[in-house]
């Protein structure tokens, strides 16, 4: 998405999405979602068999933007100021299936990681790669850096969760993000 739009979204997201997920207790002082394990308690219907985690450093805050005109529609654009070259981390353990550069179109530099039980995650518009095809990764392994390659006009991470080839609505550490709109996420990956 365009950087100017990203900045607008960030400005409006704190007030706009504070109550979206009705978490028990926000862990940080800022309003929003913290994907700590306590957020995925009993009765949470969003828990997946494979726990896919926020693909960023512990404690880092991102806006997860979803919108009807996104392609694929269930994709997420992770946005924040200073996004360029932030670490991108694997959402779960798995095997790197694709490391590819589409040049100035589409995903640009992107990675697909294959997880258990038919799940895959995709990370696009990367600035650089830290893994190669066939490499085994753990939850939180750094696989690349955030960039603005391909059909992107500002640094952000385009992210998809796919189950048996179908792009699903994103759930991070058992917490379903907002469709359609913005969700403030504080990564707990690797904490
Ligand atoms: Zn996108």
Q: What is the CATH number of the domain that holds 133?
A: 2.70.70.10
Q: What is the pLDDT of residues 25-75, one digit of tens each?
A: 333 334 455 554 433 333 344 445 799 999 999 999 999 999 999 999 999
Q: Distance between CA atoms of 80 and 9, rounded to whole angstroms? A: 9
Q: Distance between CA atoms of 174 and 185, rounded to whole angstroms? A: 12
For residue 191, give both structure tokens: 């904490």
Distance (Å) from CA 78 to ligand 1 centroid: 8
Q: Distance between CA atoms of 56 and 149, rounded to whole angstroms? A: 18
Q: Is 92 a domain residue?
A: yes
Hey, is 33 helix, strand or coil?
strand
116-122: average pLDDT: 97
Distance (Å) from CA 137 to ligand 1 centroid: 24
Q: Do 179 and 74 meet the contact criterion of CB atoms below 8 Å apart?
A: yes
Q: Is 191 a domain residue?
A: no
Place of tokens 């946005």: 79
State yes or no: pLDDT of 92 exceeds 80: yes
Q: What is the pLDDT of residues 129-165, one digit of tens each?
A: 999 999 999 999 999 999 999 999 999 999 999 999 9
37: domain range?
3-186
Distance (Å) from CA 190 to ligand 1 centroid: 25
* CB proximity list for 114: less than 8 A, separation 6 or greater: 94, 95, 96, 97, 120
Q: What is the pTM of this model?
A: 0.78
Distance (Å) from CA 63 to ligand 1 centroid: 13
> How many domains, the chain?
1
Q: Is 95 a domain residue?
A: yes
State yes or no: pLDDT of 5 exceeds 60: no
């Amino acid at each position: 998405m365009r950087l100017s739009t990203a900045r607008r979204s960030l400005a409006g997201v704190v007030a706009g999405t504070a109550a979206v997920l009705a978490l028990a207790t926000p862990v940080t002082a800022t309003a929003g979602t913290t994907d700590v394990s306590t957020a995925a308690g009993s009765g949470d219907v969003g828990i997946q068999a494979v726990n896919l985690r926020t693909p960023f450093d512990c404690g880092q805050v991102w806006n997860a933007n979803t919108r009807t005109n996104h392609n694929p529609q269930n994709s997420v654009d992770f946005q924040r100021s200073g996004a360029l070259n932030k670490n991108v981390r694997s959402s779960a353990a798995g095997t790197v299936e694709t490391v590819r550069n589409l040049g100035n179109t589409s995903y640009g530099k992107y990675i697909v990681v294959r997880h258990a039980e038919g799940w895959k995650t995709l990370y696009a518009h990367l600035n650089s790669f830290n893994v190669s095809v066939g490499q085994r990764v753990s939850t939180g392994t750094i696989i690349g850096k955030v960039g603005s390659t391909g059909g992107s006009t500002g640094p952000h991470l385009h992210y998809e969760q796919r189950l048996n080839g179908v792009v699903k609505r994103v759930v991070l550490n058992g917490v379903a993000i907002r469709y359609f709109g913005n969700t403030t996420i504080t990564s707990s990956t690797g904490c």
